[in-house]
Amino acid sequence: MRTGMCSSSYQRWNLSSKSGPGVISENRIDGALVCICDLPIDKLSDKVIVGRPLKSSLREIRMQLNVRRTIVTVEDRNEAEGRKAAAPVRKVAVVAIVENPLAGKGYVDDLKPLIAASVDLGAFIAARAVEALGPHKAQSYGKAGIVGLAGYQEHANALLTTAFANPIRDAIGGGDAWISSMTKVAAPGTMIDVPMNHKDDVYVRSHYDGMSVVVPDGPQPDEVAIIFCLASGGRLNARVGGMTHDEVEARKAKASA
């Protein structure tokens, strides 16, 4: 028997009742919904965050992340190659610099507490990204993480799984495509190129893009910088063919009709 703590996308994955896959009962601990699953641990995807036995408190399952700083960058691109854009493309990057609870501890096998904690971090970043995007709708996205020198690359990856990303998908009206990602360990002030792709179909070539992000004085050795980027369009003057954003939108409209 395993227990799973359901993320904020609990309803999204239809796990809110005993009819969910592998769910045989549910309980509340400290106000949060915890489900008991009869699936073996290797069959549980990140749709259910695997936790400790039900008798453990939620605080043991889900560590609290300390966000030390938040940086929001907004770029409006109006012209490229000497040509004015029909509509400007807005790109935003939200960086949350969090204290790394595993810094300096060497190899830690169980990263599930970090994955669980990333759900709230995703919601935190989502609110700021949508606010920065303003009146524009997101068409593409990307994510990245820089781990300070006292941590390991896998610490950032644990904070960037689907558990982290689904609150952002919900905030921008969905996202069917996987999210391009880049992580590394680096000294403070190191630049990272955040890859981006269309949020609903990775085969939209015009939206293969990115943002270069630098965290001034960070991350410190005991920190992780978690980055999420949104854009309201693809590259200006994109002209290499392939599927278009409008075609993806038409396909979605037809499927939902």
> Which residue ranges make up each domain of the chain?
2-61, 67-231
Taking 50 as the pLDDT cut, the residues of the chain under it are 1-61
CATH superfamily of 67-231: BB2672 (3.30.1330.110)
| DSSP annotation of 64 | P
The per-residue pLDDT for 62 is 57
What per-residue confidence (pLDDT) applies to 33?
35
Question: Does the predicted model carry a pTM greater than 0.85?
Answer: no
**Secondary structure of the chain: what % helix, strand, coil (to 5)?**
25, 35, 45
Mean pLDDT of the chain: 81
The pLDDT, as a whole number, for residue 41 is 29
Whole-number Cα distances in Å, 203 to 37, 72, 245, 248: 36, 28, 10, 10
Residue 63: predicted pLDDT? 75
- pLDDT score recorded for residue 64: 85
Integer-rounded Cα Rg, in Å, for the chain is: 19
Q: Distance (Å, rounded) from C-alpha 130 to C-alpha 143?
A: 15
Rounded CA-CA distance 163/185 in Å is: 22
Q: Up-side HSE of residue 35: CA atoms within 13 Å toward CB?
A: 23
